[in-house]
Structure 1
Amino acid sequence: MTTPIVEFNGDFSEPGAPAVPWADVERVLTTSEMFFLSTVRADGRPHVTPLPAVWDGGVLHICTGDQEQKAKNLARNPSCVLSTGTSALHGGLDVVVEGVAVRITEPARLRELAALWKSKLDWDFGVGEDAFRDPAGRNGLVYGVRPAKVLSFGKGPYTQTRYRFPSAEDLA
């Protein structure tokens, strides 16, 4: 994974507070089980739903049923936001990931991800032709969201830090 460009926002942080290190943000992404996925419906209305996710290899992975609203939204517009954190006001770290959801269909990678879902979340997924299969035989479409931008909001002290991930064109 590319090391992000860190941009501390002092205007929305307590005086003297430091930027949150990327390692702290990545720890939240690795250990969090539930995230909120925000997508856009065909008519432009937002759609937000909680779902489990797995951080692996610099990519946040999600799974959704092939008939669910979020799958329909991502098929039409793969830009999305995933957020996680804590409901506490005076402690913890909230993290927001912006990116594009890309379907993962390669069987070997799906098997790796199914093993991660089992080890982290104790969910049993089999692997079908190009998707997860749950014990009832339903398809679960798997997506990877590589961050374009991540925001962290510390709450003890209050901080706001942005992490940008330059594309290959930006580095040329």
Structure 2
Amino acid sequence: MTTPTAELNEDFSEPGATAVPWADAERVLAAAEMFFLSTVRADGRPHVTPLPAIWDRGRLHICTGDREQKAKNLARRPECVLSTGSSRLHGGLDVVVEGVALRVTGPERLRALAALWKARLDWDFEVGEGAFRDPAGRTGLVYGIRPAKVLAFGKGPYTQTRYRFG
């Protein structure tokens, strides 16, 4: 992944503020354990749910049960948004990632991601046929979301930075 171009939106930033460097936004993505995933239901209604995600190789990776609403939504419409950050008003950095969720099914990549889930979140997954299996034998579909657009919202000073890729 190439380093994106950072652009400060002065309309939504404090006077004199500067764009948040990509390294700062990427640090938030790598350190965060929980994100909010936004998808769209078949009837157009939004669906938002908290879930862990792993930042690796320029993508956010998520796992969801094959029968869960988010899996149904992503199968029909893979465009989604993941967000993470601080619940504080006057500090921290919130990051929003817009992209397309693509299934990860290769056994080598799934094994590498399962190792990351264990190391970072202490979750045990085995690799089955194109998916994770948890200790109870349930199927976990794995998706990688490559950022199409990322926004970072600083809260001390208040800033809005957009990152352009490619």
**TM-score using structure 2 length:** 0.99
Q: Does 1:98 align with 2:72?
A: no
Which residue matches 1:27? 27
1:14-61: per-residue Cα shift (whole Å, max 9, x none)? 111111000000000000000000000000000000000000000000
Percent identity for Structure 1 against Structure 2 = 82
Distance 1:109 1:78 in 2: 20
Q: Partner letter of residue 139 of structure 2?
A: N
Q: Partner letter of residue 104 of structure 1?
A: V
Which residue matches 1:132? 132
Superposition deviation, residue 160 in structure 1: 0.2
Q: Does 1:48 align with 2:42?
A: no
Distance 2:144 2:117 in 1: 13
Distance 1:11 1:84 in 2: 22
Q: Partner letter of residue 137 of structure 2?
A: G
- Equivalent residue pairs, number: 166
Which residue matches 2:79? 79
Which residue matches 2:157? 157
Distance 1:103 1:91 in 2: 35
Superposition deviation, residue 84 in structure 1: 0.1
Distance 1:63 1:113 in 2: 10
Superposition deviation, residue 3 in structure 1: 1.5
Distance 1:86 1:3 in 2: 24
Where does the alignment leave 5 or more consecutive residues of structure 2 unmatched?
Answer: none
* Runs of 4+ more than 3 Å apart: none
Distance 1:158 1:41 in 2: 33
Distance 1:120 1:56 in 2: 12
Distance 2:96 2:155 in 1: 14
Where does the alignment leave 5 or more consecutive residues of structure 1 unmatched?
Answer: 167-172
Superposition deviation, residue 2 in structure 1: 1.7
Higher alpha-carbon deviation: 4-13 or 23-32: 4-13
Distance 2:72 2:56 in 1: 24
